Amino acid sequence: MTDQRKTLLILGSMDEFVLLVQRAKERGCRVLVADGYEQGPARAYADASFTVPATSTETLAHLCREHEVGALITSFSDTLFEAGCQVAYAAGLAAPLAPDKLECLRDKERMKEMFSHLGIPYPHSRVAPAEKAERACDGMRFPCVVKPLDGYGSYGVRVVRDADEVRAAAYKAAAESRRAAKVVLEEYDEGREFNMITWISKGRAFPVSIADREKSPRGDGELPHVSRIVYPSRFAERVMAEALRYAQRVADFAGIVNGPLCMQFFWSPESGMHVCEVAGRVFGYEHELLEYASGLSVEDLLLDTALDHEALAARLEAHDALAMEQRSCGLYFHMRDGIVANLAAARTALDAPYVQQSLLYYAEGDVARNARGGKPYAARAFLAATTYEELDVQSEAMFARFSITGAEGEELAIANCIPGGARNDAQDDAPTIRCTGAL
């Protein structure tokens, strides 16, 4: 007897896909999972799984045809989003973005051209070959950020203080680029930083959330690392309308009819808003925070996008991004290179009663490395509370207690900071920085 259930291919098998697979099966779908990770935990919950790299477009398209896949879902990383669009297009399935528009959400030079065309403000920047980067920075305001033209995450990204530092940083950045030995030189924006999730339904951009993206300094020219992301932003009412207008312009230009469109931007009362990047996927390692704060599930939105556009529209119409009842945050712990010797303090911190969920990425004896191919964090923890004040107190306690000791007795955990300390004052325009935690 032929299986009449809708067959979904979920591109991705790591831990963030487990709940997506489970909820798809709850809706009565037959779920296939595929990517290059043989031990991906989501495989255990799928009806069938395949070890095929996400970039193997033709192999995955053949798999879709062979198994009569009706829809493809992926998210959480730029690599998976790009691969998912390519596979869906090759298999004749609905895709959130046509392949000829992918570069607008992928290549930073094309993205900035799109911003200029659409009248979207962005940090002052230039694109140049690595060997000409020193000359290209003439007239730019330092500090500057040097980044690969088409890199993912923060690999190869450095802050430079003067022109003398540009050349070495440019060659390191260009080495991370897959397609071009060019780099982006961008003036460092001192404004507050935000993550915004919008969702496109029938061509209209709906606001889902705006979160405060807080960072802590690393030193030695490294880009400050993300240490806390807070849902909803304390400044959501002040930035929502303008940010949503820009998201709608991008959706119209790229031809996105249904699906997520996320945006990172800077804002301050003095300099206004500058959009850093846009992406066609949901932010990884934080989407759970939306559900803690509002009850709205990213997994449900992804499944509605694939299965039921009317349900998607209704869900988004009912959601108020400015009226979340709870507060939530993700804490992201980073570490220096070294051999992990003692995780007792880290485990104690992550076991605090107010922690909703946590993940420790290392075990004793592991070698920590921050280069490409290393683990994204030392650990992460999700917290939830009824007020910002309570969330800040919990966060400061976690930062103070978290510690990882190296083989020589050295502290490997990098100290995290909370801008402005434990307070809820969205009127303050220039937050002070107080560092807490292991030094």
Give the CATH number for residue 166. 3.30.1490.20
% of the chain with per-residue pLDDT over 70: 90
pLDDT confidence of residue 319: 97
> Does the pTM of the predicted model rise above 0.95?
no
**CB under 8 Å to 70, separation ≥6 — which residues?**
6, 7, 8, 93
175 and 283 inside one domain: no
Query: How big, in percent rounded to 5, are the helix, strand and coil portions of the chain?
Result: 35, 30, 40
In a domain, 119, yes or no: no
Mean pLDDT, rounded, for 37-50: 97
165 and 80 inside one domain: no
pLDDT confidence of residue 12: 97
Given a cut of 90, whether residue 417 has pLDDT beyond it is no
205 and 291 inside one domain: yes
Instruction: CATH number of the domain at 66, please.
Output: 3.40.50.20
pLDDT confidence of residue 126: 85
Mean pLDDT, rounded, for 240-259: 97
Mean pLDDT, rounded, for 210-216: 95
Mean pLDDT, rounded, for 256-268: 96
46 and 164 inside one domain: no
84 and 223 inside one domain: no
In a domain, 30, yes or no: yes
Domain boundary among 77, 95, 113: 95
The radius of gyration computed from the CA coordinates of the chain, to the nearest angstrom, equals: 22
pLDDT digits (tens, 9 = 90+) for 382-397: 999 999 999 999 999 9
- The number of domains in the chain is 3
Torsion sign, CA atoms 415, 412, 154, 146: positive
Q: How far is residue 385's CA from residue 393's CA, in Å, rounded to a whole number?
A: 10
Among 120, 126, 131, CA closest to 146: 126
Peptide bond into 143 cis (omega under 30): yes
In a domain, 343, yes or no: yes
167 and 182 inside one domain: yes
Instruction: CATH number of the domain at 359, please.
Output: 3.30.470.20
Strands 144-148 and 182-187: antiparallel
In a domain, 178, yes or no: yes
365 and 223 inside one domain: yes
367 and 240 inside one domain: yes
pLDDT confidence of residue 284: 86
pLDDT digits (tens, 9 = 90+) for 291-326: 999 999 999 999 999 999 999 999 999 999 999 999
Query: Residue 346: what are its φ and ψ, rounded to 5°?
Result: -65, -45
In a domain, 266, yes or no: yes
DSSP H or E segment with residue 160: strand 158-160
In a domain, 34, yes or no: yes
Residue 135 is part of which domain span?
Answer: 124-187
Mean pLDDT, rounded, for 227-256: 97
397 and 307 inside one domain: yes
Given a cut of 80, whether residue 2 has pLDDT beyond it is no
Decide which of 127 and 63 is more confident: 63
285 and 405 inside one domain: yes
356 and 296 inside one domain: yes
Tokens read off for 258: 């249904």
Domain boundary among 74, 95, 116: 95
In a domain, 115, yes or no: no
Domain boundary among 187, 211, 227: 187
């060019």: which residue's tokens? 182
166 and 314 inside one domain: no
In a domain, 108, yes or no: no
DSSP state of 141: P
The CB density around residue 187, as the number of other CB atoms within 10 Å, is: 17
């001192």: which residue's tokens? 190
Among 364, 327, 369, 331, CA closest to 350: 331
**Three-state DSSP state, 85:** helix
Confidence of residue 190 (pLDDT cuts 50, 70, 90): confident
Q: Partners of 186 in the beta sheet?
A: 125, 145
Confidence of residue 373 (pLDDT cuts 50, 70, 90): low
